């Protein structure tokens, strides 16, 4: 297994078992390493296409990807950004075909883990079973917040909440510097994620800048006033799994 895979396994361990489990999770993934496939994909590549069948799920090492769907109206909705260290594609294993498409928005190196390995993981490792279950439940939690975002918050609140979530998730992956992070996002992508138009995102971003809450310099985002942002957008990071407990408590 290449060194990049080892780094990926470490990141996976860190993401999904910050409490007590990193070594076990890591070694368990590594133990089956010979069955996995490494791939390096360019920016803008569709890794999963909605409606197709797949037999692997994916571990994302270092890139940004997004899960999305386009409606018959032509509108595109982004469900989720997949950050370094996170996984995707489990759904495609459960359902006959993938419900959503996944595309890279930066170059990315991935590890594909054959689906039937999940059986093995479930059979052999209690800890891995928990990790899988936990990652699915965390995804639910994020989507739950996303529902609230889309239906009950103003554009101003949505942007606030969005940047805070990104910041906390990137921070737990060690990808922040102070209160800043790099995000390869365009205003159009943000709009598609939050259910707005790029134009309105633009206007709202200007307000956030003027109000000294968020600063943006190209692709670099800085959280200027974490407190104010949290308050106005009902942000509480507990849903991100920062303090997940029970499954890994012992």
Is residue 76 within the footprint of DNA (CB under 7 A)?
Answer: no
Cβ at position 213, least distance to DNA in Å: 15
Query: First CA to last CA across the chain, in angstroms?
Result: 30
Task: Please work out the total of residues on this chain that contact DNA, with binding judged by CB under 7 A.
Answer: 18
**Residue 106's binding partner out of DNA, its own copies, none, with CB under 5 to 8 Å set by partner kind:** none
- Secondary structure of 48-62 as H, E, C letters: ECCCCCCCEEEEECC
Please give the residue ranges that form the binding site for its own copies (CB under 8 A). Answer: 55, 69, 71-73, 75, 77, 79, 90-91, 93-97, 99-100, 115, 118-119, 122-123, 126, 129-130, 132-134, 136-141, 143-144, 146-148, 150-153, 194-195, 231, 234, 238-239, 241, 243-247
Contact map string, positions 134 to 163, toward DNA, x by CB under 7 A: --------------------xxx-------
Q: Is the distance from CB of 103 to CB of 60 less than 8 angstroms? A: no
The 3-state DSSP class for residue 234 equals coil
Is residue 113 within the footprint of DNA (CB under 7 A)?
Answer: no
Q: Is the dihedral of CA 160, 162, 163, 167 positive or negative?
A: positive
**Residue 30's binding partner out of its own copies, DNA, none, with CB under 5 to 8 Å set by partner kind:** none
Q: Which is nearer to its own copies, 152 or 219 (CB)?
A: 152
Q: Which is nearer to DNA, 126 or 198 (CB)?
A: 198
C-alpha separations of 63 from 36, 84, 105, 196 in Å:
18, 5, 8, 25
234 CB-contact burial (10 Å; exposed 0-12 / middle 13-18 / buried 19+): middle
Give the span between the Cα atoms of 179 and 141, in whole angstroms: 24
**Residue 99's binding partner out of DNA, its own copies, none, with CB under 5 to 8 Å set by partner kind:** its own copies
**Residue 188's binding partner out of its own copies, DNA, none, with CB under 5 to 8 Å set by partner kind:** DNA
DSSP secondary structure of 101-127: EEEESS-EEEEEEETHHHHHHHHH-HH
Cβ at position 6, least distance to its own copies in Å: 26
Q: Which is nearer to DNA, 35 or 203 (CB)?
A: 203
**Residue 139's binding partner out of DNA, its own copies, none, with CB under 5 to 8 Å set by partner kind:** its own copies
Is residue 72 within the footprint of DNA (CB under 7 A)?
Answer: no
Is residue 42 within the footprint of DNA (CB under 7 A)?
Answer: no
Q: Is the distance from CB of 84 to CB of 139 less than 8 angstroms? A: no
Cβ at position 215, least distance to DNA in Å: 12
218 CB-contact burial (10 Å; exposed 0-12 / middle 13-18 / buried 19+): exposed
Positions in the binding site for DNA (CB under 7 A): 154-156, 186-188, 195-200, 202-206, 218
């Amino acid at each position: 297994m290449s060194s990049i895979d080892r780094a990926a396994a470490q990141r996976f361990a860190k993401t999904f078992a910050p409490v007590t489990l990193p070594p076990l999770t890591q070694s368990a993934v590594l133990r089956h390493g010979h069955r996995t496939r490494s791939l390096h994909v360019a920016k803008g590549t569709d890794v999963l296409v909605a409606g197709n069948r797949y037999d692997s799920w994916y571990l994302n090492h270092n890139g940004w990807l997004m899960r999305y769907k386009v409606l018959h109206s032509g509108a595109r909705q982004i469900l989720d950004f997949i950050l370094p260290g996170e996984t995707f594609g489990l759904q495609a294993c459960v359902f006959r075909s993938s419900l959503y498409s996944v595309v890279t928005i930066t170059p990315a190196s991935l590890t594909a883990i054959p689906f039937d390995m999940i059986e093995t993981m479930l059979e052999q490792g209690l800890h891995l079973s928990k990790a899988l279950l936990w990652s699915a439940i965390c995804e639910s939690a994020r989507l739950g917040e996303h529902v609230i975002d889309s239906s009950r918050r103003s554009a101003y609140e949505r942007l606030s909440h969005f940047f805070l979530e990104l910041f906390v998730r990137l921070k737990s992956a060690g990808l922040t510097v102070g209160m800043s992070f790099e995000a390869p996002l365009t205003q159009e992508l943000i709009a598609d994620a939050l259910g707005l138009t790029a134009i309105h995102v633009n206007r709202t971003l200007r307000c956030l800048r003027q109000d000294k809450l968020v600063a943006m310099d190209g692709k670099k985002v800085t959280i200027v006033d974490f407190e104010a942002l949290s308050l106005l957008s009902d942000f509480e990071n507990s849903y991100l799994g920062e303090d997940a407990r029970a499954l890994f408590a012992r």
